[in-house]
């Protein structure tokens, strides 16, 4: 076998069709676009147009809305927190907050804050600072001798309160 013998599989490379090169090519004059008008032009398509009938996206009712002020909190359960404490990723002497959890590798990113949920149980006496917590999570931490501090929600960027 020589380098000059190497070749692609037959039929794997197809020549591009040369449009508008006379009637003998089979793709002359209108180049396969049909007659005149909007659809013969480049870059123009009537998306969702149904021949004057009310389009489907306008016939269907509107539903819901997106709250632009909604906070995207990262959720963490007590059992994940206890696993991190058991594996010595988190120091129980210091406060456990979003930065400590990210630094320990328990969370990937903090987003708008952390919400503590009550699945599992916690044995260590810890101080937790989070942006939200369920009642069961707060009760479980306080039962273990720790405390939970709920932080104020982050202010949306670019907006300031009128004084």
Cβ atoms of 157 and 116 within 8 Å: the answer is no
Across 25-125, the runs of DSSP E, i.e. the strands, are 74-77, 114-117
**Which stretches of 7-134 are DSSP H helices?**
56-59, 78-86, 98-104
pLDDT of residue 143: 94
Cβ atoms of 119 and 138 within 8 Å: the answer is no
pLDDT of residue 72: 93
pLDDT of residue 161: 58
Low-confidence ranges of the chain (pLDDT < 50): none
For 82, list phi and psi in degrees, rounded to 5. -65, -40
Topology at the third CATH level for domain 74-150 = Ribosomal Protein L15; Chain: K; domain 2 (3.100.10)
- State both tokens at 128: 């937790």
pLDDT of residue 38: 82
pLDDT of residue 40: 86
pTM over 0.85: no
pLDDT of residue 163: 53
pLDDT of residue 101: 93
pLDDT of residue 160: 59
């Amino acid at each position: 076998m020589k380098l000059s013998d190497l070749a692609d599989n037959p039929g794997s490379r197809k020549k591009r069709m040369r449009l508008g090169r006379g009637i003998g090519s089979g793709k002359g004059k209108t180049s396969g676009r049909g007659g005149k008008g909007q659809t013969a032009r480049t870059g123009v398509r009537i998306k969702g147009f149904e021949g004057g009938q009310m389009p489907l996206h306008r016939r269907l009712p509107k539903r819901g809305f997106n709250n632009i002020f909604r906070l995207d909190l990262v959720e963490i359960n007590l059992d994940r927190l206890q696993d991190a404490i058991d594996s010595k990723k988190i120091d129980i002497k210091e406060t456990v907050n979003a930065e400590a959890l990210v630094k320990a590798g328990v969370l990937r990113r903090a987003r708008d804050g952390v919400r503590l949920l009550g699945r599992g149980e916690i044995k260590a006496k810890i101080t937790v600072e989070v942006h939200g917590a369920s009642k069961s999570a707060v009760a479980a931490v306080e039962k273990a001798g720790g405390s939970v501090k709920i932080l104020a929600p982050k202010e949306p960027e670019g907006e300031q309160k009128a004084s």
